[in-house]
């Protein structure tokens, strides 16, 4: 049975798909617009992305504004510690985060709504992540916040991650407040 599990952050949903397994392997629906809409994920996805990263690689924390992206993520190889941070101005959960383990073995997905920061660190030897975006990537609108910003106190499972220059030199949240979007609650 397909399950949509609300998290402590408004709009962030953990999805547990129904997996059909037998001696041949497995089958699952990774996305079904009507079912996901009924589960509260009403985005129209327009871009799919795929990344492969080695152990200890941390990608994030990223967002895009003013044209924000909602993201629906899943891992098809390996395991990641995935994090969403609510930085929507006026949100009752502003500055709070939620983390989940996504893996090829647990088949879980996470939906991160527009306006939130998102990132993950690879906890397996390698990981491949596929994700859908609700709007197109716009390089000039992307911004990052430092992965270990003390304002969030995220308990990352890797103390010394492998970072891109962009992520290593990302500012703190207090330095990008002018890029943050307002919280717009939706009926779920």
Residue 185, class by beta-carbon neighbours within 10 Å (0-12 exposed, 13-18 middle, 19+ buried)? exposed
Check residue 115 and give left, alpha or beta (phi > 0: left; psi -120 to 50: alpha). Answer: left
Encode pLDDT of 150-159 as tens digits: 999 999 999 9
Token reading at 29: 């629906």
Enter the pTM of the model: 0.94
Residue 94, class by beta-carbon neighbours within 10 Å (0-12 exposed, 13-18 middle, 19+ buried)? middle
**84, 117 Cβ separation under 8 angstroms:** yes
**Residue 22 DSSP label:** E
All domains of the chain in start order, with CATH = 7-11+43-179 (2.60.120.10)
- pLDDT score for 161: 98
Cα distance between residue 16 and residue 18, in whole Å? 7
- pLDDT score for 1: 87
**28, 107 Cβ separation under 8 angstroms:** yes
- pLDDT score for 13: 97
Residues annotated catalytic, as ranges: 62, 131
Cα distance between residue 29 and residue 99, in whole Å? 23
With a cut of 50, list the residues of the chain below it in pLDDT.
187-188
């Amino acid at each position: 049975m397909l399950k949509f599990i609300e998290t402590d952050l408004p709009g962030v949903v953990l999805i547990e798909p129904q997996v059909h397994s037998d001696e041949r392997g497995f089958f699952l629906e990774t996305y079904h617009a009507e079912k996901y809409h009924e589960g509260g994920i009403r985005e129209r996805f327009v871009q799919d992305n795929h990344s492969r990263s080695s152990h200890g690689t941390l990608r994030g924390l990223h967002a895009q504004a003013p044209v924000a992206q909602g993201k629906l993520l899943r891992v098809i190889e390996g395991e990641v510690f995935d994090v969403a941070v609510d930085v929507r101005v006026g949100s009752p959960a502003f500055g709070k985060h939620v983390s989940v383990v996504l893996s090829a073995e647990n088949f879980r997905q996470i939906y991160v709504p527009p306006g939130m920061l998102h990132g993950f660190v690879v906890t397996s030897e390698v990981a491949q992540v596929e994700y859908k975006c609700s709007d197109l990537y716009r390089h000039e609108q992307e911004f990052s916040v430092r992965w270990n910003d003390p304002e969030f106190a995220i308990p990352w499972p890797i103390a010394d991650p492998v970072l891109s220059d962009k992520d290593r030199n990302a500012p703190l949240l207090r330095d990008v407040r002018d890029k943050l979007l307002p919280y717009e609650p939706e009926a779920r």
